[in-house]
Chains A and B, each alone.
Chain A
Amino acid sequence: MKNSPLETIRTHFQEMQTKGTAPSEIHEILLGRKGLLPEFLRTLKTESVAVRRELGMTANNLRKEIEIAVGEIQDTKVAADRITIDPSLPALPSEKGSIHPVSALIKEMVEIFADLSFEVVEGPEIVEDTDNFENLNITKDHPARDGHKTSFLTDSLLLRTQTTAVQVMEIRKRFKENKLPIRIVVPGKTYRRESDQTHSPMFHQIDAVMIDTQTTFADLKGCLDYFAKRLFGDTVETRFRPHYFPFTEPSAEMDIRLKNAQGTGRHTGWLEFGGCGMIHPEVLKRAGLNPKVYRGWAFGMSVERPLMLRHQIPDLRLLFQNDPAFLSQFSTTTCS
C-alpha cells in the first residue's frame, strides 16, 4: 500500500523532466531536506523492519535514478550512459611548494650512509677553536689553516670551517657510552672567510666517520665508491690519490669521473669529490681512544659541488639568492 507515494514521486519527477524543470529545482523539490523523498522516508519510522527494508530499497533506487538524472541533465552534451572528456585538457597547475636542492641532496646523502648503517648527527655551528682545529691536529700557525680562512667571533670561538669539527666531540661521547663501532654522518653549514664566484662565505659539507677495532682503508674506498655510485649511477668511476690533511694518515683525495666525461691535458674528466683518510692517531687520542686498539676513517666533501654537477648549475651563488623561479625548478625532487 505504501508503494503509491513513491510512484507519485516518480510521476512527479518524470513530469518535471518533460517540462524541462531546472535540475537544481528538481533536486530541491524531490531530494532536499524538506523534499518529497526524505519526507516519505521519515514516515517509514513507524513501520516494521521488513516493510522498512523493502520500501527503503525502492526509495533508494529512485533516489539514485533522480541523482543521476539531475547530474546528467546539467550537461546536455554528455550522453546518458557514458563519460566523454577531452583528455588533452592541461593538468591542474602543480602546487608551488619546494624543498631547497641543498636540503634535498643532504637528505639523499644521509640516507645512502644510513643504508650503510651510519647514524646522522648534527652539531653546533659556533665551535671552539679546539674542536675545529686543535683536536684535529691543526695547531695554531699550522700551514693547513691557510686553506681555512676562518671567521672568529671571539679569541676562542669561531664559525666552524668544516663539519669535521663535530667529529672529535661525537667520537668521545659515543666512546664513553660504549657505542662501538661508531658510524656517523654529519651534514651541515660551514663557513669560510671568502666570497667570490666560486667561494661562498657559507656552504654545506657532509662528513662521514667510521671507528672500530677492525676497519681499513679498503673499507673506506669501498664505502665511498658505493656512495658515489648511489649518487651518480653505476657507471661513475672513482679514484683515490694521496693528499695531506692533518687529521688523517694516510690521507687521500677522492675523484670521480662521470660516464663519457672527457678532457684534454690535465682536464682528464676527473672531478674532485672529497677528502678522506685513516683517522690520525693523534685525533683518536684526543677523542680518548687508544690508537693501538681502535682505528677509523673519515670522509668529508662539499654538498654544493656534486649538486651543481648533477643539475648543471653554473654559479654557486644562484643557490643562495633564493629566486622563487630558481627554487620552483626543484619542486619535483621534493617527493623523493
Chain B
Amino acid sequence: MLLSYAWLQEFVATTTPPLALGEHFLMTSSELEHVYNWNEKLTGVVVGEVLTCEPHPNADRLKVLSVDTGDTKRMIVCGAPNIAQGQKVLIALPGTTLTNLKGESLTLAEATIRGVTSQGMVCAAFELGLPAMTPDGIWVLPTDAQPGETAVKALGLDDVVLDLEITPNRPDLLSHVGLAREVSAFENRKLTPPVLPIVPAGKFNRPLTHTAQVHVAPQAPCYRIAAIPLRVLSHGISPWWLQRRLIVSGMRPISPIVDVTNYVMLELGQPLHAFDITNFKEKKVVLQAEKVKASTPITTLDGITRTMELGDAVITLNGAPADIAGIMGGAESSITDETKEILLQAATFYGPHVRRTSARLGLRSEASTRFEKGLDPELVPQALARAVVLLTEIGAVEQAGTLLDHYPEKRKTVSDLCFACDRFEDIMGVRISITEAKHILEKLGFRILSTSKTTVHCAPPSWRADVKLEEDVMEEVIRIWGFDRVPQTLPKGPVKVPQRNPAFYRKEAIRSLCARLHFQETVHLPFCSQRQLDLVGIEKAQPIGDPISKDLAFLSPTHLISFLQSTAANQKEEQTRLFEIGKVFYPGCKEKLVLSALLRSAKNPEHLFREAKRLVESVTGSQCTYVPLKQALKVYDPAASYTVQVGDTFLGTIAFLATKTAEAHKIRRGRLLLFVELDLEKLLEQSALPIMYTSPAPYPAIERDMTIVVSEETPWSEVEDAIKGEVSPLLESWVLDDMFRGQAIPDGRKALTVHFMYRASDRTLTDAEIDTHQNALTTTLTTKLSAQIS
C-alpha cells in the first residue's frame, strides 16, 4: 500500500517526519518496505514565466522565448504549438536528466538550434515521466506558480510516499483513512475522516432513461450490492489535485469518473465500478451479483477474453456477465467519451471466493487485493456517497436517481468482547491499566460497552472483522501500547527433565562419524527430472503436481541422482567422498530416511570397496555381509553390486557404477564411482547398548605376521573361514594388513599378509605356544586353500 504523507495529513495532523512515521507503523502494524521521496524527483526542473515569445528567425515552427526562471532570464527555443507569452511553464535546465514515460533518458545541455542558443527545455508531462492527463503540448501551470520554484513544489508533488506491507488480516489498512486511524491511535491524535453526506433520495429533475435495480442472487458470494444512477455532464480530464493523488499512489489518471472511483478506493478502501448503460437496449437494467452457471467468456477492460467457470462470481446486466466480481470490469459496459448515463456500483464480495477466482485467472487488481481480504459492507454506501460528492464537485456528473441497495443478510460481527487486565497479564507477562487499554480501543474505533476496574467490554468496528476473540483484542492493545515494553523473562515452573530423542542424536553421531572418515556432507535439492530417472533406470518416482520446471518434476527416489548431477558440475577435485543424510521418496507419497555416499577415485576397486565397507560397518557398528544384488539398477555394474545385510536384515546397497554411467552423466572418465545407500530408519531403531567396562589385559600380546599366497579365485572370506576354523583360545584377533601381487608372487595368485594377536589373560605367552597354532593354521591353509605360507 502506497501511503501519501500529504494525503494522510488531511485526516490526521501528524508532525512526525515521514521516515519516523514509517518506523512507528513498523512497530505497531505494517512493515515499511520502501520510501519514495518525491522531493528528490524532477531535480533541475523549475517554473519559468514566458516573458516574450518570438518567432524563430530561421525556422517556421519554432519559437524563441525569453523565460524568467527566478534566478535569471534564459533564452529557450521551443516547438510546442500551445506556447504563449505570459504562461507559467516547466523548464528543464541544462544538465538535467529526464526520463520520459517510455523510460527513455535524456541529459540536457545548452544547444544551438538553427543558430539560436537554447538554455533549457520547456516540458510536457510525458517528457517528465508523469502519467498526467494534460491538454496536448507543453504543460501550462496555473498562474500562481512562482518562477524559479521547483517542479515538484509547483505541482504539489512535494510529497513522501511510504510503501507499507499490509498483513492479510487488515484490509482496512489498504486505505488512507484506515492508516490515518492507526496514526491517530499510536500518536494519540484526532482523526478527521472525510465527511460522508447521506445520498439524497426522492425525485430527480433529469432521471435516467433507464430504470435500474440491484440484486444479490441467492447463494451468490456477495454480502451487499448498491448503485447510484448518474448522468454524465462532462468528460475531459480530472483536476490536477485529484490526478496527483493517483500518480503518487502509483495509479494512472484516465478520466474523471474512473479517477474518482480510484480516488475513493485509495481514500476509503472500497473499490467502485461504473457501468455505462447509455445505449442499453432494454428499458430496465438489473445489476445482479450471481454465480455463473456454466463456462462463460467475458472480455475484461484490458481487452482480454477470459472464461468464467461454474461457481465464479460475476455481476450481470440483465443476465449477461458484465464484470468479474471484485476483480475487473467488462469491456462492453466500460466508460467511453460517449457515455451519458452510468450506474456507479459498489459491492462486498466474499474474500475467499474472489481470491480463488483471481488465483485461477492469474489476474490480480487493486480491487481484488482488497476484496480477497474481506471488506466491510458498511463501506458500500459510504464510498458511493463520497464518490458522488467528488464527481459533483468537479462537475463530471449529476445524481439522476435514488441510491439502490440490496443487503439481504447483515454480515455477522462479534458484538461483545471482554478485555480483562488479569488475563492480559497472564498471557502477555505485563500489566497495563484499564484506562490505557480503553483509550487504545477507542482510538481504533472499538465501541466501549462497559468498563469496570479491571475489564472493558467492547464491540469491534465493522471494518475489523478479523477481531473475533479476546486474544485479538489483547493484540490490538499490546501492539499500540508497545511490544518493546514487554519485559524478557524465562519460563517459570517446576523442574522437568527433557527426554532426549535418541534417533536425532544417533543421526548426529553418524553424521560426525562420516565426516571423521573423511566424507564431505552434501545437502541437495531432492528433486529430479524424467531424464535423470531414465538415466539411472528408475521407472517410477513420486511426481510433483504443477512443478516449477521439468528439472523439479519428481521427488528423488535416490541420492545417487543428485550425487551424479553435482559431481558432473564440480569436477575440479581429483577424487571425492560425499555423503548425505536425508529423505528419499517413492511413489505413493512415501518417504524414507537414508544415508547415502558416493566415492569417486582412481584407486584400485578393492581398496575403494574396503573404504566404503569401513564407512558401512562403522555406521552399522557390526560386520555386514555383502550378497550380490539380484536386480541391479541400470547404472550399477551388475557384477559389482551388493546388498548390505546384518544377518537376514537388509540394510542397504553398495554398488560400483557401470563405466558407461560417467559418460552418460558427463563425468570425467578414469575414476571409479562407488555408491552406498543405507536404510537409516532401521539403523536409528537400534538403541545403543550401554558401555560396560572390562579390565584391560594385564599381560602383553604376542604378534605374528603371516603372508598367505593364494589363488586369485580364493576370496578373503575363505581365508578368514579357515582362520576361524582353527580355533585357539589364545588367538585374540587378526587383521588383513596388506595385499599384493606381482614381483615374487606368481601370476594368478595374490599375497595376503595377516597380522595375528595372541594373548592369554593369566600369563605371558611363550613362542612355542603360538608356534603350535601358527603351524596348525599353516597346515590348514596349505591343504584347504593350496596356500603357500611365508
Which residues of chain B come closer than 8 Å to A239, judged between CB atoms?
Answer: 483-484
Shortest beta-carbon distance from A191 to chain B in Å: 9
Q: A97-B518, A193-B548, A214-B426 known; 4 other A-B pairs, CB under 8 Å?
A: A126-B585, A189-B582, A251-B475, A331-B520
| Closest-CB distance, B549 to chain A (whole angstroms) | 8
Q: Is the CB of B498 within 8 A of A118?
A: yes
Q: Does B496 contact A (CB under 8 A)?
A: yes
Query: Is B504 engaged at the interface, CB distance under 8 Å to the other chain?
Result: yes
A266 touching B428 in the complex, CB below 8 Å, given contacts A120-B501, A201-B527, A334-B515: no
Are the CB atoms of A98 and B515 closer together than 8 Å?
yes
B493 touches A322 (CB 8 A): no
Q: Are A216's CB and B504's CB within 8 A?
A: no
Distance of A95 Cα from B34 Cα, bound (Å):
48
Check A27 for interface membership: any CB of B closer than 8 A: no
Partner of A139, one of B35, B352, B353, B475: B352
Instruction: Decide yes or no whether A59 CB sits under 8 A from chain B.
Output: no
Q: B591 contacts A126, CB within 8 Å?
A: yes
27 A-B residue pairings within 8 Å (CB atoms): A45-B766, A95-B518, A97-B518, A97-B519, A102-B523, A119-B498, A141-B355, A142-B168, A181-B496, A201-B527, A201-B552, A202-B525, A216-B426, A217-B486, A219-B429, A222-B487, A223-B490, A240-B486, A244-B170, A250-B471, A266-B34, A268-B23, A295-B427, A321-B570, A322-B524, A322-B578, A323-B566
Is B583 engaged at the interface, CB distance under 8 Å to the other chain?
A: yes
Q: Is A260 an interface residue (CB 8 A)?
A: no
B residues less than 8 Å from A200 (CB atoms): 525
Residue contact B35 to A265, C-beta cutoff 8 Å? yes
Q: Does B401 contact A (CB under 8 A)?
A: no
Please state if B493 and A212 are interface contacts (CB–CB under 8 Å): yes
Whether B85 sits at the interface, judged by CB under 8 Å, is no
Report whether B168 and A218 are in contact in the complex, using a CB–CB cutoff of 8 Å. Answer: no
Q: B416 → chain A, closest Cβ, in Å?
A: 17
* B169 located at the interface, meaning its Cβ lies under 8 Å from any Cβ of chain A in the complex: yes
CB of B264 within 8 Å of the partner chain = no
- Which residue of chain B has its CB nearest to the CB of A266? B32
- Asked if residues B591 and A217 are in contact (CB atoms below 8 Å), the reply is no
Residue B52 is within 8 A (CB to CB) of chain A in the complex: no
Number of A-B residue pairs having CB atoms within 8 Å of each other in the complex: 243
B571 to chain A, nearest CB (A): 10
Contacts of B472 in A (CB 8 A): 249
A97 touches B589 (CB 8 A): no
Closest to B32 in A: A266
The answer to the question of A225 belonging to the interface, with a C-beta cut-off of 8 Å to chain B, is yes
Residues of A within 8 A of B543 (CB): 153
Roughly how many angstroms separate A124 CA and B590 CA in the complex, as a whole number? 10
Chain B's closest residue to A196 (CB) is B548
Contact with B along A111-146 (1 / 0, CB 8 A): 000101111111011100000000000011111101
The 8 Å CB contact of B484, one of A157, A214, A240, is A240
> Does B471 lie within 8 Å of A103, measured CB to CB?
no
- Which secondary structure dominates chain B's binding surface? mixed
> A221 to B488, Cβ gap below 8 A?
yes
Contact A219 B504 (CB under 8 A): no
Q: Contacts of A214 on B, CB cut-off 8 Å?
A: 426, 492-493
- Does B566 contact A322, Cβ atoms closer than 8 Å? yes
Tell me the count of chain B residues lying within 8 A, CB to CB, of chain A: 97
Instruction: Decide: A222 near B32, CB < 8 A? Known: A99-B521, A212-B493.
Output: no
Q: Is A107 an interface residue (CB 8 A)?
A: yes
Q: What mask results when residues 167 to 206 of chain A are scored 1 for a CB within 8 Å of chain B, else 0?
A: 0000000000000010100000100011100001110000
CB of A100 closer than 8 Å to a CB of B: yes
Measuring CB to CB, which residues of chain B are less than 8 angstroms from any residue of chain A? 19, 22-23, 26-29, 31-35, 167-170, 351-353, 355-356, 372-373, 426-430, 469, 471-472, 474-475, 478-479, 483-484, 486-493, 496-501, 503-504, 508, 511-512, 514-527, 542-549, 552, 555, 562, 566, 569-570, 572-573, 576-578, 581-583, 585, 589, 591, 766-767
**In the bound complex, how far is the Cα of B493 from the Cα of A278, in angstroms?**
18
Contact: B523 with A322, CB < 8 Å?
yes
Q: Are B520 and A218 in contact (CB under 8 A)?
A: no
Q: Which residue of B lies closest to A218 (CB)?
A: B429
Which of B518, B523, B591 contacts A319, CB < 8 Å?
Answer: B523
CB of A109 closer than 8 Å to a CB of B: no
CB neighbours of B169 from chain A (8 A): 244
Binary B-proximity of A286-302 (CB < 8 A = 1, otherwise 0): 00000000010000000
B residues in contact with A331, CB < 8 Å: 515, 520
Closest chain A residue to B573 by CB distance?
Answer: A324
- Inter-chain contacts of A221 with B (CB < 8 A): 486-489
**Chain A residues within an 8 Å CB radius of B499:** 119
User: Beta-carbon contacts of A248-273 to B below 8 Å, as 1s and 0s?
Assistant: 01111100000000000110100000
Chain A nearest CB: distance from B522 CB in Å? 4
Smallest CB separation, A156 vs chain B (Å): 10
| B508 nearest in chain A by CB position | A107
For residue B30, which residue of chain A has the nearest CB? A242
**Contact among B372, B483, B497 with A241 in the assembled complex (CB-CB below 8 Å):** B483
Residue in A closest to B355 when the chains form the complex, CB atoms: A141
Interface of A is mostly: mixed
Residue among B26, B523, B526, B566 making CB contact with A100, cutoff 8 Å: B523
Contact between B490 and A226 (Cβ–Cβ < 8 Å)? yes
Q: Decide yes or no: A210 and B469 within 8 Å by CB, A202-B526, A295-B427, A322-B522 being known contacts.
A: no
Q: Which residues of A contact B589 (CB under 8 A)?
A: 126, 153-154, 157
Smallest CB gap from A221: residue in B: B488
Does chain B have a CB within 8 A of A243?
Answer: yes
Cβ contacts under 8 Å, A244 to chain B? 167-170
User: What is the distance, in angstroms, from B508's C-beta to the closest C-beta of chain A?
Assistant: 6
> Are B501 and A219 in contact, CB atoms less than 8 angstroms apart?
no
User: Judging by beta carbons under 8 Å apart, are A125 and B591 in contact?
Assistant: yes
Top-4 shortest CB links A-B: A218-B429, A216-B429, A141-B352, A244-B167
- Min CB–CB distance B618 → chain A (angstroms): 12
A96 within 8 A of B: yes
A143 with B511: CB separation less than 8 A: no
Which residue of the partner chain A has the closest CB to B423? A292
B484 cross-chain contacts in A, Cβ below 8 A:
239-240
How far is the CB of B786 from the nearest CB of chain A, in Å? 27
> Could you say which of A217, A319, A322 contacts B427, with CB atoms under 8 Å apart?
A217
Known contacts A325-B572, A327-B522: does B471 contact A143 (CB below 8 Å)? no
Bound-complex Cα distance A94 to B23 (A): 50
Residues of A within 8 A of B474 (CB): 249-250
- Minimal Cβ-Cβ distance residue in B for A117: B498
The reply to whether A195 and B493 contact each other, CB–CB distance below 8 Å, is: no
* B518 near A151: Cβ-Cβ < 8 Å: no
Closest A residue to B477 using CB positions: A250
In whole angstroms, what is the CA distance A120 to B501 when docked? 6
* Cross-chain contact B428 with A217 (CB below 8 angstroms): yes
Chain B residue numbers with a CB within 8 Å of A107 are: 508
Q: Which residues of A contact B490 (CB under 8 A)?
A: 116, 219, 222-223, 226
In the assembled complex, which residues on chain B have CB atoms less than 8 Å from the CB atom of A225?
Answer: 488
A126-B589, A157-B589 given; A327·B168 CB < 8 A: no
Looking at the assembled complex, report how far the CB atom of B326 sits from the nearest CB atom of chain A, in whole angstroms. 13
> Which residues of A are found within 8 Å of B428, using beta-carbon distances?
216-218, 250
Q: Which of A99, A125, A218, A319 contacts B486 (CB 8 A)?
A: A218
* B residues in contact with A120, CB < 8 Å: 501, 504
In whole angstroms, what is the CA distance A146 to B545 when docked? Answer: 17
User: In the complex the two chains form, what is the Cα distance from A110 to B511 in whole Å?
Assistant: 15
A98, B546: Cα distance in complex, Å: 36
Contact pick for A97, options B483, B517, B544, CB 8 Å: B517
Tell me whether A151 and B504 are in contact in the complex, defined as CB-CB below 8 angstroms, given that A103-B511, A320-B525 are known contacts. Answer: no
Distance in angstroms between the alpha carbons of A249 and B33 in the assembled complex: 23
State in angstroms the CA–CA spacing of A334 and B513 once bound together.
Answer: 10
Tell me if B498 and A281 are in contact (CB < 8 A): no
Please report the C-alpha to C-alpha distance between residue A103 and residue B579 in the assembled complex, in whole angstroms: 12
B168 touches A266 (CB 8 A): no
Return B682 CB to nearest CB of chain A, in Å. Answer: 16
Measured in the bound complex, the distance between the Cα atoms of B474 and A252 in whole Å is 13
Give chain A residues whose Cβ lies under 8 Å from the Cβ of B352. Answer: 139-142
Please give, as numbers and ranges, the residues of chain B lying within 8 Å of A201 by CB-CB distance: 525, 527, 548, 552
